[in-house]
């Protein structure tokens, strides 16, 4: 049996999967850390073991792994991964650690168009992590933390100014959950405005680290005024797409 390894080296986390052409046999996600090359090597070793596997890398560090057989752009891999997790997907919104992407797919899961915003961190996972630290809350508990909260409008669209605004609101004894939900609303509104530059159709697949949070998924749906779906493996979409490319290449050899 032939296998493929897909590794997505992101700014915040690195994801890896082992794929057999039908399903994901193993998955790994770890912080990228200060040495992305070493992180990728460790994931590769853990996934490969003694198997014959074709390895495809993607993401910021896609050219760092010497054992890689091929590197592919993250836009292509995220599109293919999203289509694998949700067949029929025509639109993808990915919110990563330091950037956000909107991807349009045709009926064959090929890229029709895309937009990528890596100039400002205000609508990314890194921004949510920063605000969580200011609020002294574990990011993993975000959904429970903002449940039943009343969102406070966050007017600043820049990370630095938004941070100052949040600190100011805390000084005014504004409840932390209200601030947290306000930040979520701000991110979703910003993402929807960005996504609105492309002609989205039908349901939208939501991937990236923030797709783990139901509150963000539901608010993004409100802002987009269309159904937003996700998957328990959505954060691995880039790695899955890379592995699928690798498997198809390996199969043809």
Helix/strand/coil percent split, the chain, to 5 = 45, 20, 35
Q: For 43-102, what is each residue's pLDDT tens digit?
A: 999 999 988 899 999 999 999 999 999 999 999 999 999 999 999 899 999 998 878 899
Compute CA distances 29 → 146, 163, 165, 186, 217, whole Å. 26, 28, 33, 27, 21
Q: Distance (Å, rounded) from C-alpha 168 to C-alpha 171?
A: 5
pLDDT at 202: 85
Residues 6+ apart with CB under 8 A from 5: 16, 17, 18, 19, 44, 47, 48, 53, 54, 55, 56, 243, 246
Does the pLDDT value for residue 109 go beyond 70?
A: yes
Q: Closest Cα to residue 83, out of 196, 203, 181, 173?
A: 203
Confidence of residue 157 (pLDDT cuts 50, 70, 90): low
SS3 state at 4: strand
CATH superfamily of domain region 89-230: ATPase, nucleotide binding domain (3.30.420.40)
SS3 state at 71: strand
Q: Distance (Å, rounded) from C-alpha 167 to C-alpha 84?
A: 42
Confidence of residue 228 (pLDDT cuts 50, 70, 90): very high
Q: What is the DSSP letter of 87?
A: T
What global pTM score does this model have?
0.92
Contact 28, 43 (CB under 8 A): yes
Q: Closest Cα to residue 6, out of 237, 239, 177?
A: 239
Contact 233, 16 (CB under 8 A): no
pLDDT at 253: 60
- Two tokens at 45? 């070793």
Does the pLDDT value for residue 4 go beyond 90?
A: yes
CB-side exposure of 86: number of CA atoms within 13 Å? 23
Sign of CA dihedral 221, 223, 224, 230: negative
pLDDT at 160: 73
Q: Which helix (H) or strand (E) holds 80?
A: helix 74-85
CATH number belonging to domain 1-86+234-253: 3.30.420.40
SS3 state at 192: helix
For tokens 């947290």, the residue is 180
pLDDT at 45: 97
- The ranges of the chain annotated as CATH 3.30.420.40 are 1-86+234-253, 89-230
Q: Closest Cα to residue 56, out of 252, 253, 238?
A: 238
């Amino acid at each position: 049996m032939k296998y493929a390894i897909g590794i997505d080296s992101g700014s915040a986390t690195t994801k890896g999967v082992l794929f057999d052409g039908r399903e994901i046999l193993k998955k790994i996600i770890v912080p990228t850390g200060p040495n992305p090359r070493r992180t990728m090597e460790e994931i590769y070793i853990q996934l490969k073991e003694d198997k014959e596997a074709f390895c495809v890398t993607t993401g910021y560090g896609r050219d760092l792994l010497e054992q890689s057989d091929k590197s592919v752009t993250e836009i292509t891999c995220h599109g293919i991964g999203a289509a694998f997790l949700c067949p029929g997907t025509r639109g993808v919104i990915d919110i990563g650690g330091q950037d956000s992407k909107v991807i349009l797919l045709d009926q064959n899961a090929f890229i029709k168009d895309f937009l990528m915003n890596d100039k400002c961190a205000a609508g990314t996972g890194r921004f949510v992590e920063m605000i969580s630290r200011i609020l002294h809350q574990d990011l993993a508990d975000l959904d429970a933390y903002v449940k039943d909260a009343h969102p406070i409008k966050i007017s600043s669209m820049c990370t630095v100014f938004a941070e100052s605004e949040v600190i100011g609101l805390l000084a005014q004894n504004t409840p932390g959950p209200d601030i947290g939900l306000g930040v979520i609303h701000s991110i979703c509104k910003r993402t929807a405005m960005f996504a609105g530059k492309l002609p989205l159709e039908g349901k939208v697949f939501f991937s990236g680290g923030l797709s783990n949070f139901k509150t963000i998924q539901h608010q993004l749906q409100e802002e987009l005024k269309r159904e937003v779906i996700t998957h328990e493996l959505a954060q691995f979409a880039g790695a899955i797409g890379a592995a699928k490319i690798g498997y198809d290449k390996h199969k043809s050899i």
